[in-house]
Amino acid sequence: MTLARRALLRLIAGTAALPAASRRSWAQVYPTRPVRFVVGFAPGGGGDIATRLMGQWLSDRLGQQFVVENRVGASSNLATEQVVRAPADGYTLIQLNVANAINASLYKNLSFNVLRDLAPVASFMRVPNVMEVSPTVPINTVPEFIAYAKANPGKLMFASSGVGTTIHMSGELFRAMAGVDMLHVPYRGLAAGGYADLMTGAVHVTFDNLPASIELIRAGKLRALAVTSATRSQAMPELPTVADVLPGYEASAWYGIAAPAGTPADIVERLNQALNAAFADPRMKARIAELGGTPLPGSPADFAKFFASETEKWARVVKLSGAKVE
């Protein structure tokens, strides 16, 4: 009996250890099939460009395809809800961005809470927005724009990639701090009609993510006035900052990755390490710089803390701007 009981106890102990061992081996071989990488905005925008860059890096690094899937609607809320409900197995990820931090206070009845329902994996890039105008508008500087807007109240239209995006809120913050009256015109991504309308003068100004419009600026199709970050961008150092005219103005965009809450910690850590390895690669560093971005390395805990601070910051901006989503 004693020997039988000991054998039984060993069997129970071995069985109890199986889930932990299984998780470890799962993380070691992860991923074994393609991974869905969901983006809440249309193709061609700054977040889409950055995500495809990092998705390709992860594909090359981890040996499985990270397939970018654009799920447009409600300023990334539809995409976020989809990923929140997905299996927590590491095979569905979302590009988390500043819009998610804004949405926490802009939308009053969200069915999810990002910090509760998603597991932050890693932040990977921060970029300034750039205040840019249509070539049809006779303006070359931020002070000229403010004077022109005040002389034409309600006549200037500023375009964004959707309600609650950093492009929208950058414009709302500018409108509040500069004391100008502009009409907000949201698009389903600036690439889906917004750029064409800007170039023809159907709308007049936007505060676009720099990676998305840097080539249009260089080609002279849009006229850049200033960057929205606290300091000048290395990609376009000739541009002043909006804060040079409106002290305290700052509205950078950023991008990261999250997974459904409950995703095994070993898989989250594997993804984090693979992503952070990009910042030691000279070619990736150069590409990020070309897009006007700066790397945002760190641990999952660092990203969670950063997201919480961004949520608090943008709640203040939402209140200051008076922006509402009906």
Q: What is the CATH number of the domain that holds 119?
A: 3.40.190.150
Residue at a domain's end among 244, 270, 298: 244
Instruction: Looking at the structure, tell me whether residues 316 and 176 fall in a common domain.
Output: no
- Which carries the bigger pLDDT value, residue 11 or residue 44? 44
> Which are the contacts of 140, defined by CB distance < 8 A and separation ≥ 6?
223, 225
pLDDT computed for residue 22 by the predictor: 45
In a domain, 4, yes or no: no
Q: pTM for the whole thing?
A: 0.80
Instruction: Looking at the structure, tell me whether residues 101 and 41 fall in a common domain.
Output: yes
pLDDT of residue 10 exceeding 70, the answer is no
Instruction: Looking at the structure, tell me whether residues 135 and 121 fall in a common domain.
Output: no
Q: Which residues of 310-324 are buried (b: 16+ CB within 10 A; e: fewer)?
A: bbeebeebbeebebe
CA distance 26 to 19: 10
pLDDT of residue 192 exceeding 60, the answer is yes
Residues 239-286 pLDDT 10s: 999 999 999 999 988 999 999 999 999 999 999 999 999 999 999 999
**Least confident range of 9-18, 108-117, 274-283, 314-323:** 9-18
pLDDT of residue 3 exceeding 60, the answer is no
In a domain, 278, yes or no: yes
Bridge partners, 227 (sequence order):
130, 241
Span 293-301, average pLDDT = 95
Instruction: Looking at the structure, tell me whether residues 150 and 231 fall in a common domain.
Output: yes
Question: pLDDT > 70: what percent of the chain?
Answer: 91
pLDDT of residue 227 exceeding 50, the answer is yes
Residue 166's pLDDT band (boundaries 50, 70, 90)? Answer: confident
pLDDT of residue 140 exceeding 50, the answer is yes
pLDDT computed for residue 326 by the predictor: 61
pLDDT computed for residue 42 by the predictor: 85
pLDDT of residue 12 exceeding 50, the answer is no
Instruction: Looking at the structure, tell me whether residues 114 and 260 fall in a common domain.
Output: yes
pLDDT computed for residue 196 by the predictor: 96
In a domain, 17, yes or no: no
Instruction: Looking at the structure, tell me whether residues 176 and 123 fall in a common domain.
Output: no
Q: What CATH number should be reported for the domain holding residue 150? A: 3.40.190.10
pLDDT computed for residue 325 by the predictor: 78
Instruction: Could you list the beta-strand ranges (E) of the chain.
Output: 35-39, 66-70, 92-97, 118-127, 129-133, 156-160, 182-186, 205-209, 223-227, 253-260, 294-295
Instruction: Looking at the structure, tell me whether residues 282 and 315 fall in a common domain.
Output: yes
Instruction: Looking at the structure, tell me whether residues 170 and 113 fall in a common domain.
Output: no
User: For the chain, what is the domain count?
Assistant: 2
User: How many C-beta atoms surround the C-beta of residue 69 within 10 A?
Assistant: 13
In a domain, 11, yes or no: no
Instruction: Looking at the structure, tell me whether residues 63 and 199 fall in a common domain.
Output: no
In a domain, 262, yes or no: yes
In a domain, 18, yes or no: no
Instruction: Looking at the structure, tell me whether residues 67 and 112 fall in a common domain.
Output: yes
**Least confident range of 61-65, 108-112, 213-217, 290-294:** 290-294
According to the per-residue pLDDT averaged within each range, which of 38-42, 74-78, 201-205 is highest? 201-205
Residue at a domain's end among 244, 262, 290: 244
Output the CA–CA distances (angstroms, integers) from residue 60 to 66, 94, 314, in the order listed: 9, 19, 35
pLDDT computed for residue 20 by the predictor: 45
Instruction: Looking at the structure, tell me whether residues 259 and 284 fall in a common domain.
Output: yes
Structural domain span for residue 88: 32-127+253-321
Instruction: Looking at the structure, tell me whether residues 105 and 201 fall in a common domain.
Output: no
In a domain, 227, yes or no: yes
Residue at a domain's end among 244, 267, 302: 244
In a domain, 45, yes or no: yes
